[in-house]
A and B are shown apart, each in its own frame.
Chain A
Amino acid sequence: MTNDMMLHPGLLLIAGGILMAFVRGSARSALAVIVPAVALFMVWQVGDGIFGRVGFLDYTLEFVRGDRLARIFGTIFTLMALVGGLFALRQESRIEVPAAFVYAGSAVGAVFAGDLITLFLFWELMAVGSTLVIWAGGASARAASMRYLMVHLFGGVILMAGITGHVVDGGSLTFEAMKPDSLAHWLILIGFLINAGAPPFSAWLPDAYPEASWSGTVFLSAFTTKTAVYVLLRGFPGTEILIPIGLYMVFYGIVYAILENDMRRILAYSIINQVGFMVTGIGIGTEMALNGAAAHAFAHIIYKALLLMSAGAVLYRTGKRKCTDLGGLFQSMPLTTICGTIGALAISAFPFTSGFVTKSMISQSAANEHMMIVWLLLAAASAGVFLHAGIKFPWFVFFQKDSGMRPKDPPSSMSWAMVIFSAFCIVVGCYPDPLYAILPYPVDYQPYTGAHVVFQLQLLLFSGLAFFLLLNYLKRTLTITLDLDWFYRVLGTGIASGLAAGTSSALAASARGLAIRLGAFGVGLYRHYGPTGVLARTWLSGHMVLWVAILLLGYLVLFYVPD
């Protein structure tokens, strides 16, 4: 068992992260790159099968289960930690990167977990790690990090209730495909979906992630939602309800991103949009669709991190995050502009970028299953992705009006991280075979047909035409758009503070009543016993003698009264 544990890539990342919190300088920088690199290597040393069986109460936990699905997610998570660690070398917060490694390591642990209890343990550790990453973003991020933690602890409770019910119903502890056929399984599904950003719990993501630091958001974009994609892939493949849920997420992301002004919130909404494509693919559930969801998760982590790195570079250099304050930066930040644009093209699934070879597997599987409405909606959504992320993000940040700012490209560690991920976007797009080779199922798909390239170019370029023709309607304003989190941020706190105010005024009223009564009692006491009170007055001796005489007289009278 000990040997198996030593080989666990997730535990290595977690231990490395904790160690990093205690060292500084070049040792820390070296750890930030070496630890995830070794973890990436170790992901590929995990063979197929179960390793690290641990007894826990009456159960046997399967700490590590190696298979193709776990390995592809383990690969992209450790790669993300590696390039993210490089990007964040200049991060001055002592907590953020160690927390990000604990977060990444627990995500790796979750995808290698063979049973539901191990999965749950890593699931909760992810919530703690990610909350710390947000919290490290500074004073303005504290409240958002607490809202984020509440949502995820709530999701964790639902998941735990589901797992408990599943075991009580006689289900196996091994984490394998299930159907939403019992309350317990529904609870598990809901717990998974909360982390995916599915409705009605989508708002936690754009609320919390953009509050993290310039590097923190890069880490955050990768792990929580994609671990949720992984557990849905393994736990609920082909569950039809996931198709409408995924499509809702796709359009929710587009609409809210169109209305958004903050560049990193635009990208946060588009995470939900992209995860929506994956969730739809999982709902379709054919081998090709599941391959597409896994491949798209892989490509998505890279280009989304790249987009957020370019946004992070802009934030690092200018301190600004609103589109209304930005613009014209292409003149002085050429490298950031190019890398951000490559990320934007990849998320739009432009031919010869990674999104083109992965997202199309999902749409193609909808077509193969003769799901016309799903296919049409996915096509419209692909056009919408180009609109809200593919053009809108680079246009408003790097072009549009000239903001007058002339910031430089970021320092070399950040630039290199962007260049590496840009290269991944293009290499995977031009040469997808190595990615196809590590997908969960055998791939029988050729993305580069003449028709596919031409149709995709039509779809995207005419969306671009729509963008520039409608530019007046897309001008950014200093606004946010209300979401369902209004119910817990305004209505919920309103009810709570209303109740609190009601309670405290009732308390105050009863306290006042008590005080009045106590006061009256005090006044009475004072009247009788105070310095001028009847019972405290100094009496003259003459009065005393008189009263004694009266008492004696009374006694005599009583004595002689006949019986």
Chain B
Amino acid sequence: MHWLVRPESIRKLWIAFIAILALTVVAEFFVESHPHFGIDALPAFNAWFGFIGCVILVFGSKLLGMWLKRPDDYYDE
């Protein structure tokens, strides 16, 4: 089994990933920013905005998919 797909490697990758996520939020306090609108001045704005945006996009797509999905041979004669 390739080392990258072993369960213990995947667990380590998750730990590293979460650490990096935390780091990007902390780093925000060490950079000089110039918010334009106010909403983007909220703490960790880009983190939660990106996360929520993706959740909405995924579930919105699922909803649309329920209506518009067809078997992939739909157009085959």
Residues in A neighbouring B54, C-beta threshold 8 A: 383-384, 387, 462-463, 466-467, 470
A458-B31 Cα distance, complex, nearest whole Å = 13
- Chain B residues with Cβ below 8 Å from A491 are none
Cβ of A331: which chain B residues have Cβ within 8 Å of it? 2
Task: Pick from B2, B53, B59, B72: contact of A383, CB below 8 A.
Answer: B53
- In contact, B46 and A379 (Cβ under 8 angstroms): yes
Is there an interface contact between B5 and A402, defined as CB atoms closer than 8 Å? yes
| B39 CB contacts on chain A under 8 angstroms | 372, 376
Is there an interface contact between B69 and A459, defined as CB atoms closer than 8 Å? Answer: no
Given contacts A454-B28, A466-B55, A470-B55, contact A459 B50 (CB under 8 A): yes
Contact with B along A444-467 (1 / 0, CB 8 A): 000001110111111111111111
Contact A479 B69 (CB under 8 A): yes
How would residues 38 to 77 of chain B score, 1 for a CB under 8 Å from any chain A CB and 0 otherwise? 0100001111111101111111111011001111101100
Instruction: Give the residue of A465, A474, A477, A481 whose beta carbon is less than 8 angstroms from that of B58.
Output: A474
User: Is A259 part of the contact surface with B, judged by Cβ < 8 Å?
Assistant: yes
Interface string of A476-487 (1 = CB under 8 A from B): 011111110000
Number of B interface residues, CB 8 Å? 45
* Known contacts A454-B24, A470-B58; is-contact A367 B68 (Cβ 8 Å): no
How many A-B contacts are there with CB distance less than 8 Å? 148
Q: Is the CB of A458 within 8 A of B71?
A: no
The residue in chain B whose Cβ has the minimal distance to the Cβ of A455 is: B46
Check if B51 sits within 8 Å of A259, measured CB to CB.
Answer: no
Which chain A residues border B49 with CB–CB below 8 Å? 376, 379-380, 383, 459
In the complex, whether A73 has a CB less than 8 A from a CB of chain B is no
- Chain A residues 33 to 54 lying within 8 A of chain B, measured CB to CB, are none
- Nearest CB in chain A: distance from B33 CB, A: 4
Q: Does the CB pair B32–A478 fall under 8 Å?
A: no
Contact with A along B3-42 (1 / 0, CB 8 A): 0110000000000010011001101101111101101000
How close is A446's CB to chain B, nearest CB, in angstroms?
A: 12
Question: Which B-chain residue is minimally distant from A450 (CB atoms)?
Answer: B31
In Å, the complex CA distance between A322 and B45 comes to 36
Chain B residues with CB below 8 A from A459, complex form: 46-47, 49-50
Decide if A24 is an interface residue (CB 8 Å cutoff): no
A255 touches B61 (CB 8 A): yes
B21 → A minimal CB distance (Å): 6
Q: Which residues of B contact A (CB under 8 A)?
A: 2, 4-5, 17, 20-21, 24-25, 27-28, 30-34, 36-37, 39, 44-51, 53-62, 64-65, 68-72, 74-75
11 A-B residue pairs with Cβ-Cβ distance under 8 Å, sorted by A, are A255-B57, A451-B32, A453-B31, A455-B46, A457-B27, A458-B50, A461-B21, A462-B21, A473-B58, A479-B72, A480-B74
8 shortest interchain CB distances as A-B pairs: A450-B31, A466-B54, A380-B53, A451-B33, A383-B50, A458-B46, A459-B50, A258-B61
Contacts A258-B57, A370-B37, A372-B36 known; 13 new A-B pairs at CB < 8 A: A254-B61, A255-B64, A259-B68, A376-B49, A387-B54, A450-B32, A455-B33, A458-B44, A459-B49, A459-B50, A463-B54, A473-B62, A479-B70
